[in-house]
Chains A and B, each alone.
Chain A
Amino acid sequence: MKTLIIEMIEPKRLGELVTVSREFCEKPDIVAVGSGQIPGSFAKAYQVEDTVASNLISDLASLILKEGYEIILLSASTLGSGIAAPLSIKLSAPVVSEVIGIKPELVVERPLYGGKAVATYKLKKMPAVLTIRRKYFEAADLQGFTESKLLGSDGKKVELITEREEKAEGIPLEDAEVIVSGGRGIGGAENFPILQTLADLFNGAVGASRGAVDEGWAKPTQQVGQTGKIVAPGVYFAVGISGASQHLAGIANAKCVVAINKDEEANIFKRARFGVVSDYKKIVPVLIETLKEEG
């Protein structure tokens, strides 16, 4: 099947979509969004520098119709969600978002009800547009680079004025092998640094629940979950987090979850490998001390 990947030039995101594309074809084509060289080997590569989704829809639709693409792959990201739905209407194509599983014969799976259920769909018409949830597919190793052709852009509807990267110190959340996440139970922004201290001792990163982000104690880029980052670390410490299904949706592929919560009934214990029923203010400082003593 003729497959087109539309994605930012970012090796992990591209790699995951290349893995998915192998379910449909040997070598996909790509529209690479942003500037820089395109890593990996693609049959045909187009590049567009404008990274604002709404400015790309018309040109993408024309290209897809002209080239006769059958499967369009994007990740479930700001870019992907900005493109997928309008594009599907322009193409009169079916669209399935947040895909977490792909089976033979155009059968795809996605979550429902905050991840408490999984729905299976069969695509009945092409082209079809899919957005793929991050971290559910292994990122393919991208060898070499592909030369690209510039894709035209007919006029900007939306102007990008400024862009600010929220760079956290240390290792990015998605790459960390250990994540220490805090929730509403942390009680205040002033209590978050202690989680950072614990994370640092593991060379890890600090995440948060939507509860903590809504309170303003952590940055939106730190949110883990269905509508935040999807992570798959070796160890995930959930501290003062109740374990709502929408939060668990972000850690489905974490290997070991350690829950620290003073409510023994909290749902997080149903997902945890190890549980400590305690006020985090008691156990976290002791964990830090013990790790420091051990050096």
Chain B
Amino acid sequence: MHIVVLAKVVPDYEVPASDFELADSRAHKRYKRMMGLYDENAIESGVQLKEKYSSTLTIVSYGNKDDIPVLRKAVAMGCDKLLLVTGSSDDASVIAANLKMALDSLGDVDLVLAGQQSADMDRGLVHGMLAEKLGFVFIPQIAGIEYLDGQWKVTQNTETGIRELECREKAVLSITSVPENVPRIPAVRSIFAAKKKAVDILPAIEDKAMPVDEVSVEIPKMESVCEFLPAEDDIAETAKILLRRLREERYI
């Protein structure tokens, strides 16, 4: 069994709004680069499947060579191989076309995992597009995966609860976060070993971008109006003031 996990390196997603700035409509280059959070959930899910079914696990990414050191974290977590397509488009369809090209080059992929949403674009489109381009089934928001009697048995977290689904075909699954796929912290030894691992690099292919123009990107103003209530000595008084203020302003 050959499992592929799609991973994307992004600017630090924990930078607070007050420190966040743009340059050319994208996050300023000064922010630290890191693996997307849901992508790490997907890698963790992939590593667990590898451990359970002795599968081969390949990380595929589309992006910049400078981010290879960050991608190596996936190897340290337990992936066998890294494959990077070098390119810089943010267009979901272009990214999906390039990922398809990379998967075609691998040839024998049975299952593709991806994060539910990237930690910079907030959109959750690339994996579903890739699935359609590959002719695979796409199922979003997956929290658990098993392979039984020749089919994938997956659990999906919906807005209202949990579903169990079965699928016989090759699939692209987007992975949501649950306590069971909180990413492991790789051992120092694995981190060093990962540094020596070769990375396969493919140049990007040309593909038409979607007929959508990005007109502008702006940072909305967040106005700080917080009224701090005194909470040092008399906490009972603080509680009373809070309730009074909420009533005065007719919130409750």
Chain A residues packing against B (C-beta within 8 Å): 52-54, 57, 77-78, 81-82, 84-86, 88-90, 94-98, 107, 110-125, 157-167, 178, 202, 210, 213-216, 220-221, 226-227, 229, 234-235, 243-246, 248, 255-256, 258-259, 264, 267, 269-278, 282-283, 286-287, 289-291, 294
Per the 8 Å Cβ criterion, residues 131-189 of B in contact with A are 131-133, 137-141, 143, 153, 156-167, 169, 174, 176-179, 182
Whether the pair A290, B243 counts as a contact (CB closer than 8 A) is yes
Whether the pair A82, B163 counts as a contact (CB closer than 8 A) is no
The SS class assigned to the A binding surface is mixed
Contacts of A86 in B (CB 8 A): 128-129, 131-132, 138
The SS class assigned to the B binding surface is mixed
Enumerate 12 A-B pairs (CB-CB under 8 Å) in ascending A order: A78-B159, A82-B128, A88-B125, A110-B122, A113-B13, A122-B215, A159-B166, A213-B177, A248-B17, A256-B246, A273-B226, A274-B226
Report which of A53, A123, A282 forms a contact with B212, defined as CB distance below 8 A. A123
**B13, B139, B160: residue with the most chain A Cβ atoms closer than 10 Å:** B160
Complex Cα–Cα for A271 and B213 (A): 31
- Given contact pairs A89-B129, A234-B252, A287-B243, A216 touches B179 in the complex (Cβ within 8 A): yes
Contacts of B93 in A (CB 8 A): 88-89
Whether the pair B133, A89 counts as a contact (CB closer than 8 A) is yes
Complex Cα–Cα for A213 and B37 (A): 14
Interface size on B, residues (CB 8 A): 88
Report which of B17, B138, B222 forms a contact with A54, defined as CB distance below 8 A. B138
Q: With contacts defined as CB atoms under 8 Å apart, how many contacts are there between chain A and chain B in the complex?
A: 263
Complex Cα–Cα for A216 and B96 (A): 33
Contacts of A163 in B (CB 8 A): 161-164
Whether the pair B211, A125 counts as a contact (CB closer than 8 A) is yes
Whether the pair B239, A214 counts as a contact (CB closer than 8 A) is no
Given contacts A53-B139, A85-B138, A95-B92, 16 further A-B pairs with CB under 8 A are A52-B165, A98-B124, A114-B119, A119-B214, A120-B214, A121-B214, A124-B212, A158-B139, A221-B160, A270-B226, A274-B229, A274-B245, A276-B238, A282-B231, A290-B236, A291-B243
A138 to nearest B CB, angstroms? Answer: 19
Whether the pair B121, A112 counts as a contact (CB closer than 8 A) is yes
A186 to nearest B CB, angstroms? Answer: 15
Chain B residues packing against A (C-beta within 8 Å): 11, 13-18, 20, 22, 25, 27, 38, 92-93, 96, 116-117, 119-129, 131-133, 137-141, 143, 153, 156-167, 169, 174, 176-179, 182, 210-220, 222, 224-229, 231, 235-236, 238-240, 242-243, 245-246, 249, 251-252
Whether the pair B229, A116 counts as a contact (CB closer than 8 A) is no
Contacts of A291 in B (CB 8 A): 243
Contacts of A166 in B (CB 8 A): 160-162
Select from chain A the residue with minimum beta-carbon distance to B229: A276
